Structure 1
Amino acid sequence: MATRASNRPYQIVIFGATGFTGQYVVEELARVADGEDYRGQPLRWAIAGRSQKKLEQVLSSAAEKLGKPHLKSIDIVICDINDDDSLADMCKKASVVLDCVGPYRFYGEAVVRACVENKTHFVDISGEAQYLESMHLKYNDQAADNGVYIVGSCGFDSIPADLGILFTRNSMQGTMTAVESYLSLKSGPEGFGLHEGTWQSAIQVFGDHGNLKNLRKKMALKPLPVVGKKLNRRNTVFYSDKVQKYAFPFGSDAAVVKRTQRYLYEDLQETPVQYAAYGIVGGIKTIFKFMIAGLFFLLLTKCRWGRKLLIKHPKFFSFGFFSKEGPTQRQMAETSFSMTFFGEGYSQGLDTQQGKPNVKICTQVSGPEPGYNATSILMVQAGITILKEPESLPKNGGVYTPGAAFSKTKLIDRLNKSGVRFTVLSKTDA
């Protein structure tokens, strides 16, 4: 892998750099690249997309915003998602491709295939379970044969959840068997906002639920063993004594975490951890909005015309959380997230199949605006970790979750230095 990286023109290429998220990834990599090197040489990177003019505008904007005039001279690779030859050409020039072109259900596989065939590592920020799991089914063996790491879900909220659990487990004295996470968002007077691209991905996830069920039947995976006390997972809005606020089931990250735990159990013989993910809501008014929006969302995603309606009017059906314009700079500056983990387990030597858990721990992952600022940090650091820590990745290439790919790396340390912080809040040892 080191030889491949040194022989190619670029260590990292950002594909889809002109998209809403892609522009933030460009800015983040520009910040990081000045302080990084590869084998004693400056990090070589480029951006890719269909339009030379738009890509030049992205570089010009980043140069002005960051006060780095040299960014205007960063190389550009012209590449079209509908042109397999251009995808192959891009992959041959890169060691790692950061793919920002979504929804991945429609546009992800072509890039994955090109990366696998041309022995190029791949990172995306998808939260689309059907796409992620189908990529594993289709390309895991070929990626392993070619020594390629295909790592999906390297954005928010999958990395905070997946690596947050590993951080919590590794910080506990004993065997952790279950954990709950609670996501909280803080914002200013204007609230927080998200771009319609994220909204469209969520619509496709729910609209494709039937195909996901069929895919999982085809994979025929055995259930993971339940170690220790069985976790009580909530399916509706409830009041949590742990955070003393109302909460609701939240996030696609639970599916990602489950895949990680399967890898850790089956490949590394580590104790699987049960997991439940929740989001914190405010008062009764906010709960009412979530319930109404959720009801419309679930009903309309079941049919084609309903999905078209949701896509056409994101702001209306999401009560302003999603829009075609995306969040304002002020909204992004005033927004932050925290994900708090409550883990429980058993002290060393105690039988995990008898008695109650006697060890508890509380940790937190926190950072800036999650949808684009934190996601850019997470994606860029994931790509750099693949590039710089090949010896700490799984022994064989393949299609991995973040937790599976990075469990033995220093990615958490890198994130702590980049503004996404992992901290222990409290411990109760036996």
Structure 2
Amino acid sequence: MFRISSSLLSHLGNSSHSFIARMASLAPGQRYDLVIFGATGFTGQYVVEEVARVAQKEEASKVPLTWAVAGRSSNKLQEALATAQKETGLDLKDVGLILADVSDKDSLNKMAAQSSVVVNCVGPYQLYGEQVVSACIDNGASHVDISGEPQFLEGMQLKYNEAAEAAGVHIVGACGYDSIPAEMGLVHMIKNFKGELNSAQLFVTTKGGNSKTPIHTGTMESAALAIANNSEIAKIRRQLFPKPLPKPKHKVTKKGMLHKNESVNLWGVAFPTDEPVVYRTQRHRHDVLGQRPIQFQQFLGFRNAFTAIGLICGMAYFAVVCYFNWTRKLLLKYPEIMTAGAFRRAGADREALKDLKFTSTIIGQGWSETLLSGSDQHSEAPDSSITVKISGPDPGYGATSLMMVACAMTILREKQKCAGRGGVMTPGVAFAETSVIDRMVDRGMTVTVKQ
């Protein structure tokens, strides 16, 4: 049936018989629709609960969803399912269990061979992501993750795009809070704008919750590695995109670290986490589709200038700490002390997150008429605007799990509508012609348009 590698047997403990029975429930050659890798992690727990709720809806619509959880420890996997059962009130006794470890290539191959789509929650992706991507491509499984690490995302496109396309699988990164609101917000804006867009600005605001709610250290570790390895991205990007984009005639001036935007009445703090992902999508629009690339800038929005300045100081401190090797080691070893409690290994309490909401407001500027060619330049300044707002639950976990599962379900149910035969791509490329936005709205998010 299935052979379990000896390096993983030590994790089975007293529950080995139960684990093997559940693993053997999958017939030879059959695949689970979704497999959640890293289900025992902080974010993985939320993803398990979201998949459970989606599976219930799929069953109600007479399209059953088969799924499994994967990780290093069978005991912890069963604990994750028990927690999910308690939180959702659903019976999860038939959910599959798969042992897999990023340090065991054989186990990753077996996991991918049993998956239609791997929902990868194991980060930092710069350390643990490539092994999973490689296994998925080799074994014919598509893959989604929630990475916000440019070096990983662009490195995977450079290294594996052709192999993924040949295998007919979609490898789509940044499928969480980084960077679904920006990517799918722009897709929605393009479809609803009566004309041709030139630029867009994104402002993210939050309300509710506790301002002192800590962030899980997994997010911190990913950000720290991205800053530490920032020099790599220029080299990768030169290989991915050897030719620069044409300079737009109506170039938007880049805003500084802090500015006041009167149209939304917010102080904007430059926070370009989504900009590298959006850039790759705009490269595709120009290089492959022959369309005008959209200039894009991203900010965190605040009503109070002093709060904005405080955040800038905190960001500067974090960047300095991550830049030097010895301070970065201290940060990773003592995150609570080095960040004054802003990051915590235990993450945030569920109750502290329940009232937290986010809104991404995207303001687009363009022309009311479209030129025949995307390479043509308008002589006049932009004369039209559009605003798209995307709102949802707490961005770090509630919204991220919702978005990630929506992306995985889109590949599963609408693969023929996803871009190309396969490849390593951004959400804005992969899901441009799908109903992924409808899936998110169906699960509680809101998307509005104002022109």
Deviation at residue 311 of structure 1 after TM alignment: 2.0
Corresponding position: 1:354 with 2:379: yes
Q: TM-score, normalised by structure 2?
A: 0.89
Deviation at residue 328 of structure 1 after TM alignment: 1.3
Structure 1 counterpart of 2:448: 423
Structure 1 counterpart of 2:183: 162
- Residues of 1 paired with 2:267 and 2:63: CA distance? 51
Structure 1 counterpart of 2:50: 28
Structure 1 counterpart of 2:257: 236
Q: How does 1:338-353 map to 2 (within 5 A)?
A: 338-349=359-370, 352-353=377-378
For these two proteins, the number of residue pairs brought into alignment is 421
Deviation at residue 250 of structure 1 after TM alignment: 0.8
Structure 2 counterpart of 1:98: 119
Structure 2 counterpart of 1:56: 78
- Residues of 2 paired with 1:349 and 1:201: CA distance? 41
Deviation at residue 167 of structure 1 after TM alignment: 0.8
- Residues of 2 paired with 1:293 and 1:312: CA distance? 19
Structure 2 counterpart of 1:408: 433
Which amino acid letter does the alignment assign opposite residue 337 of structure 1? F
Task: Give the 3 Å change call, closer, same or farther, for CA 278–326 of structure 1 in structure 2.
Answer: same
Q: How does 1:221-260 map to 2 (within 5 A)?
A: 221-227=242-248, 229-260=250-281
Deviation at residue 225 of structure 1 after TM alignment: 2.7
Corresponding position: 1:389 with 2:417: no
Which amino acid letter does the alignment assign opposite residue 212 of structure 1? I
What secondary structure sits across from 1:301 in the alignment? helix
- Residues of 1 paired with 2:330 and 2:242: CA distance? 36
**Contact persistence 1:249–1:278 (CA under 8 A):** yes
What secondary structure sits across from 1:268 in the alignment? coil
Structure 2 counterpart of 1:3: none
Choose from 219, 223, 235 the match for 1:198.
219
- Residues of 2 paired with 1:288 and 1:109: CA distance? 37
Name which of structure 1's ranges 228-237 and 313-322 shifts more when overlaid on structure 2: 313-322
Which amino acid letter does the alignment assign opposite residue 380 of structure 1? V
- Residues of 1 paired with 2:211 and 2:308: CA distance? 19
Deviation at residue 242 of structure 1 after TM alignment: 2.1
Which amino acid letter does the alignment assign opposite residue 363 of structure 1? V
Corresponding position: 1:121 with 2:146: no
Name which of structure 1's ranges 407-416 and 347-356 shifts more when overlaid on structure 2: 347-356
Task: Give the 3 Å change call, closer, same or farther, for CA 12–243 of structure 1 in structure 2.
Answer: same
Task: Give the 3 Å change call, closer, same or farther, for CA 397–188 of structure 1 in structure 2.
Answer: closer
- Residues of 2 paired with 1:170 and 1:48: CA distance? 38
Which amino acid letter does the alignment assign opposite residue 291 of structure 2? E
**Contact persistence 1:263–1:404 (CA under 8 A):** yes
Task: Give the 3 Å change call, closer, same or farther, for CA 381–286 of structure 1 in structure 2.
Answer: same
Deviation at residue 189 of structure 1 after TM alignment: 4.4
Structure 2 counterpart of 1:112: 133
Structure 2 counterpart of 1:10: 32
Structure 1 counterpart of 2:87: 65
- Residues of 1 paired with 2:305 and 2:241: CA distance? 42
Deviation at residue 319 of structure 1 after TM alignment: 4.9
- Residues of 2 paired with 1:303 and 1:358: CA distance? 47
**Contact persistence 1:226–1:274 (CA under 8 A):** no
- Residues of 1 paired with 2:38 and 2:210: CA distance? 32
Structural RMSD (CA) = 2.0
Task: Give the 3 Å change call, closer, same or farther, for CA 319–341 of structure 1 in structure 2.
Answer: farther
Structure 1 counterpart of 2:203: 182
- Residues of 2 paired with 1:187 and 1:305: CA distance? 37
- Residues of 1 paired with 2:344 and 2:302: CA distance? 21
**What's the CA shift string for 1:295-318, capped at 9, x where partnerless?**
221212122111112223434444
Q: Report sequence identity in percent.
A: 39
- Residues of 1 paired with 2:249 and 2:336: CA distance? 44
**Contact persistence 2:146–2:178 (CA under 8 A):** no
Q: How does 1:236-385 map to 2 (within 5 A)?
A: 236-349=257-370, 352-385=377-410
**Contact persistence 1:193–1:331 (CA under 8 A):** no
**Contact persistence 2:209–2:353 (CA under 8 A):** no
- Residues of 2 paired with 1:307 and 1:8: CA distance? 45
Deviation at residue 39 of structure 1 after TM alignment: 11
Deviation at residue 220 of structure 1 after TM alignment: 4.4
Corresponding position: 1:42 with 2:67: no
- Residues of 1 paired with 2:102 and 2:192: CA distance? 43
Deviation at residue 282 of structure 1 after TM alignment: 4.5
Structure 1 counterpart of 2:6: none
Which amino acid letter does the alignment assign opposite residue 58 of structure 1? A
Deviation at residue 281 of structure 1 after TM alignment: 2.9
**What's the CA shift string for 1:183-224, capped at 9, x where partnerless?**
101133454432110011111111110111222233343222
Q: Where do 5+ consecutive residues of structure 1 fail to align?
A: 1-5
**What's the CA shift string for 1:80-100, capped at 9, x where partnerless?**
110000000001111000000
Choose from 193, 208, 223 the match for 1:172.
193
Which amino acid letter does the alignment assign opposite residue 417 of structure 1? D
Deviation at residue 243 of structure 1 after TM alignment: 1.9
- Residues of 2 paired with 1:336 and 1:193: CA distance? 15
Name which of structure 1's ranges 395-404 and 350-359 shifts more when overlaid on structure 2: 350-359
Which amino acid letter does the alignment assign opposite residue 81 of structure 1? V
- Residues of 2 paired with 1:113 and 1:303: CA distance? 31
Q: Where do 5+ consecutive residues of structure 2 fail to align?
A: 1-27
Deviation at residue 269 of structure 1 after TM alignment: 2.2
**What's the CA shift string for 1:336-355, capped at 9, x where partnerless?**
10010110111125674211
Task: Give the 3 Å change call, closer, same or farther, for CA 265–288 of structure 1 in structure 2.
Answer: closer
